[in-house]
Structure 1
Amino acid sequence: MIRLLQMLVLAILFTILACKRDRDNTGKAHVEEKAIMIDSTSINAFFAKYPEFNEFSPEVKELYKKHNYHYIWHDRKGLIEFAEVLFNRVTQIDKEGLPLKIPYSEKLNALFFNNASSRPDLDAELLVSAMYFYWAHKVYKGLDDKESRETGWYLPREKVSYVAYLDTLMKDPGKIDNDKGEMFAQYYNLKKALHRYREIEKNGGWGTITLPEGIKVIKPGDSLTAVSQVRKRLHMEGYLDRDSGSSIFDKELTEGLTQYAMRHRQTPEKTITPALLKDLNTPVGDRIKTISVNMERCRWVSPEINTAKEFIAVNIPSYWLVYSRDGSQVLTSRVVVGKDVNKTIVFSGQLSYLVFSPYWNVPNSILEEEIKPKLEKNPNYLEEHNMEWYGKRVRQKPGSNNSLGLVKFMFPNSNNIYLHDTPAKSLFKKDERAYSHGCVRVEKARELAIAITKNDGGWNAKKVDHAMNSGKENSYILKKKIPVYIAYFTAWADDKGSVAFFEDVYERDNRLAAMLYIQ
């Protein structure tokens, strides 16, 4: 009886295994049956027919080689669902701040609206692949390296395989709507802002605010139509919770103006001036364009900064520095950047050491153009400015009047740009601070030195102060280098989509906008 039961169990096991093997073979056969082959030689003919997609030819060839020259976007019933998801994103590309006309849109519309369930067609298959690479390049990559450098952007750009990224999307289609690890986080904040400002534009935008003839400044307590116009304008951008409609310059309006100034890194004023009205009268369409060009700049920033443990970032148009560690701001500071003829370069480096009580080695350009002419008029000029000849060069000795102040932060680079202290503290009181020869002057240089050395080597304020005021040049070598990013953003949004707009100090926005709109 027991033997009979054992034989019965073995028979059942063999049956189960046989069924599983049959199912596996059937599944494999089903997959092979569904896979549709394409002729690899036909790809060149496709791009001859659709030349506007020609730049994507190498990637399309790589894609099909990787997939053994099988159709990707079709099965035997027609287009797969993900192709339609992708097409939907392409047709909404304006939400990405891209005012682009999609190549062959009529062909694509016909494909998806008229023949979505039809049998596979080679042109249709390759059109969808080309459409994917068009979308990935425009939304994720942006303008190519050469074009971004033409706008003065020299931050290194990450190389991404959009062939490999397609596999990621197909495995998890939800990423096409919510892959926030693929882009610099600021991009998504600006995208929210873009939606907000387009809604304002759709509702009629904002009108022009004018001062009555003979009125140059509006003060608290004044009652004018312009006051109610300013109130409405601030409410539209979220600086006031409500629009009371009052034409009296009251405390509520003062608070709104203060919020506006602080967001834009400006000194709050107690009056409404022509300069303020000029800023408020910027058309909403211009604000939308500014948001769009800064979304493009975000495409050029590696998303690795989203999870960086520590970094220092300087934004040139806002004249602002942020020192971040473990996702929190350790320190913020006003900065002075290069004037128009001595632009601060957009690039990145690794902060590797600090120099306390530094010498200032005068650049040859400054020596020839500024110091030598002054020496001809005043032979004592060097001595009066604590300078000396050092071989054929001139340098300024350490001290409180040294042009570099009492500390400089070095991240060696071919541009010879660094962060440093300065004795010219009064410049930090100005809202516009493009005055340097290219380096970045830091208002809170002492505090930055303390924060860095305390974390890196356990220094305290007393030790930093001693090094800064020793009168003898001395260095602190960092145990762990800190990434430094010098960037150029004329719009910056928070996670709610509220935007600060900054002066386009080097006049780069219009050129970038032209590049985007021409395409």
Structure 2
Amino acid sequence: MEEPQRLSPEGESELRAVVASGRLETLQWPQFGDYKTELGEFYRSAGYTLAWVRDSRPTAKALAVIELLQAADNEGLFAKDYDKPLWEERLESLALPGRPASEPALLRFDLALTICTMRYILDRHLGRINPRLFHSTFDVDADIRSPLDFLRVRVVSAADVAAALSSVEPPFPAYRRLVKAVQRYKELAGQDDGEPLPAFTIPIKPGDHYSGVPRLTRLLVSLGDLPPQAASDTDLYAGTLVKAVKRFQRRHGLAPDGALGPKTLRQLNTPLGQRLRQLRLTLERWRWLPPRHSRPPIIVNIPGFRLYAGDLPPQKVVVGKAFKHQTPVFASLLTELVFRPPWNVPMSIQRRELVRLIGKDPSYLEEQGFDVLDNEGALVSSGPVSAEILERLRKGRLFLRQRPGPGNALGLVKFLMPNTHSIYLHGTPSRRGFKIPRRDLSHGCIRVDDPEALAAWVLRDQPEWTAERIRAAMDGEKTLTVKLAEPTPVLIQYGTAMVQENGVVLFFDDIYDRDAAEGAAFEQLARTAR
């Protein structure tokens, strides 16, 4: 094993001075002040030897790490952040024939590689613009608590640095599938000419002639929706091309009717560079998630209108309306289920919506199963209300609660997870919302399509809760609360792209307009302290 390259007393003093300054001028982004204490400890613990240099030349590990940094775009990051434009020149300057590299040049090369690798590790683990919504600590393992700790223990001594660095990624199969999609769409975006499809005044239907057929064919072949051998030279929109459009429509959250209408045209004309941006942003948001869980989590993707839980088939969900009632992004633990829950109506819904309905129809409360309660929870009325009671409801001095049952707004199961947003999962008596592609219809809480199946999955480790007992609790007469033996993690996330297990890439509308703001922050090149 090669001996670490030691510095002279002057070299050690120079290295310590650069670290203490928090600035290295030879870096693309010179400031590293937030991490100068850790960086100092990294070199101090190694006796101020160089990590990436032996016999005044970069080590094989150094070259392997530089190759990974230069390919960071393939991980949904930006290689420029890790000095991609500068490494070739740095390496050439250290290998000039007849001119051994100077000690100041070697220590600056070593510092640059350590800092860039640290940044890469942080970005790949926590995200480039982590808003600290979920986690912000470096917790790859119990004995690894900082990026430089990880670098020293896992990378510098690793036989395979690529494998070592990959261990900082989110441990979700969906994440790795997105990485592959980033690489594919990066290539597609570079190849596509970006030609827009011609506009039309009325939708193009199967059997119509359309001047955009050649471009449509090229696009769908490149995206994998149309087999190459099925391409045709005519301008007739028919046959396998219609089937390909239906596949495209399903992948983009549209009704697969095969017609080329305004919504389908908009999706088809979305630049592939924008699709790449969606994939990168979704990868970034996966990095914000807590990386370790004691149990498989329930994951809700808001713009995809889907819930995922272990080996259950994905479920449709209804989420908060884009206007005023957006479902927040957060992480929590599901702690208990309530069968046949009552609904304590939020005051905002009571005053803005239900009071108006009660005023129009005096029998509304009785027909919908509502009780009027005072602030002690005592029953005031369960039938027609007087003008006085209606006024007190309007002013928030009385409260509404809907009795349990099949018509209750929460359905027959409610899934409780403590959070500051008062958001929970629940069933619903209304099936209409699950029959349409865009399902942002609620006041913020999340309605699930099959609460019975989700309840069975959540209670799978409590054998006394058989399928029959769950059904009986839903059909019973009483409200029943069941505490989970072990809480289940719940992650409410926002991603406008995903990749299914079969490799099919799906894209969703940015219903809450988050991609614009977060995309701008993600793509901002300037770094300050980092």
Q: TM over 0.5: same fold?
A: yes
Aligned to 1:349: 332
Q: CA deviation at 1:98?
A: 3.0
Q: CA deviation at 1:279?
A: 0.7
Aligned to 2:219: 233
Aligned to 1:126: 111
In 2, Cα distance between equivalents of 1:452 and 1:95: 36
Instruction: Confirm or deny: 8 A CA contact 1:206 1:283 kept in the other structure.
Output: yes
Distance 1:188 1:164, change over 3 A: same
Q: CA deviation at 1:515?
A: 0.8
Largest Rg, 1 or 2: 1
Aligned to 1:332: 314
Greater shift in the superposed pair: 203-212 or 507-516: 203-212
Instruction: Confirm or deny: 8 A CA contact 1:314 1:321 kept in the other structure.
Output: yes
Q: Deviation per CA, 1:326-379, whole angstroms, max 9, x where unpaired?
A: xxx223211000112111121122222211111001112222322334445555
Give the letter for the 1:203 counterpart: Q
Look up the SS of the partner of 2:212 in the other structure.
helix
Give the letter for the 1:98 counterpart: L
Distance 1:441 1:359, change over 3 A: same
Selected match of 1:506 from 497, 512, 519: 512
Instruction: Confirm or deny: 8 A CA contact 2:69 2:82 kept in the other structure.
Output: no
Q: CA deviation at 1:144?
A: 5.0
Q: CA deviation at 1:193?
A: 1.6
Q: CA deviation at 1:67?
A: 1.8
Q: CA deviation at 1:475?
A: 1.8
Instruction: Confirm or deny: 8 A CA contact 2:345 2:400 kept in the other structure.
Output: yes
Note if 1:77 corresponds to 2:56. yes
Distance 1:415 1:102, change over 3 A: closer
Note if 1:244 corresponds to 2:231. yes
Aligned to 1:315: 301
Instruction: Confirm or deny: 8 A CA contact 1:56 1:133 kept in the other structure.
Output: no
- Show structure 2 runs of 5+ residues with no match: 140-145, 376-398, 526-530
Aligned to 1:24: none
- Show structure 1 runs of 5+ residues with no match: 1-26
Aligned to 2:387: none
Selected match of 1:196 from 178, 184, 198: 184
Look up the SS of the partner of 2:490 in the other structure.
strand
Instruction: Confirm or deny: 8 A CA contact 2:154 2:164 kept in the other structure.
Output: no
Give the letter for the 2:455 counterpart: A
Task: Indicate the percent of aligned positions where both proteins have the same amino acid.
Answer: 29
Give the letter for the 2:368 counterpart: H
Look up the SS of the partner of 2:103 in the other structure.
coil
Aligned to 2:284: 296
Greater shift in the superposed pair: 350-359 or 467-476: 467-476
Q: Superposition RMSD on alpha carbons, in Å?
A: 2.8
Give the letter for the 2:251 counterpart: R
Q: CA deviation at 1:458?
A: 4.4
Aligned to 2:392: none
Look up the SS of the partner of 1:431 in the other structure.
coil
Give the letter for the 1:250 counterpart: A
Instruction: Confirm or deny: 8 A CA contact 1:186 1:492 kept in the other structure.
Output: yes
Note if 1:441 corresponds to 2:440. no
Distance 1:503 1:104, change over 3 A: closer
Listed as ranges, the matches of 1:95-174 within 5 Å are 95-99=74-78, 101-102=80-81, 108-116=87-95, 118-121=101-104, 122-145=107-130, 148=131, 154-160=133-139, 161-166=146-151, 167-174=153-160
In 2, Cα distance between equivalents of 1:446 and 1:52: 54
TM-score, structure 2 as length reference:
0.81
Distance 1:470 1:294, change over 3 A: same
In 1, Cα distance between equivalents of 2:348 and 2:194: 48
Give the letter for the 2:354 counterpart: I
Instruction: Confirm or deny: 8 A CA contact 2:18 2:24 kept in the other structure.
Output: no
TM-score, structure 1 as length reference:
0.83
In 1, Cα distance between equivalents of 2:477 and 2:268: 49
In 2, Cα distance between equivalents of 1:48 and 1:332: 49
Instruction: Confirm or deny: 8 A CA contact 2:252 2:267 kept in the other structure.
Output: no
Instruction: Confirm or deny: 8 A CA contact 2:19 2:39 kept in the other structure.
Output: no
Selected match of 1:64 from 37, 43, 46: 43
Q: How many residue pairs align between the two structures? A: 476
Listed as ranges, the matches of 1:247-396 within 5 Å are 247-304=235-292, 309-324=295-310, 329-340=311-322, 341-392=324-375, 393-396=399-402
Instruction: Confirm or deny: 8 A CA contact 1:56 1:134 kept in the other structure.
Output: no
In 1, Cα distance between equivalents of 2:459 and 2:277: 42
Q: Deviation per CA, 1:453-497, whole angstroms, max 9, x where unpaired?
A: 455334344332221122421122222322221111111124676
Q: CA deviation at 1:173?
A: 4.6
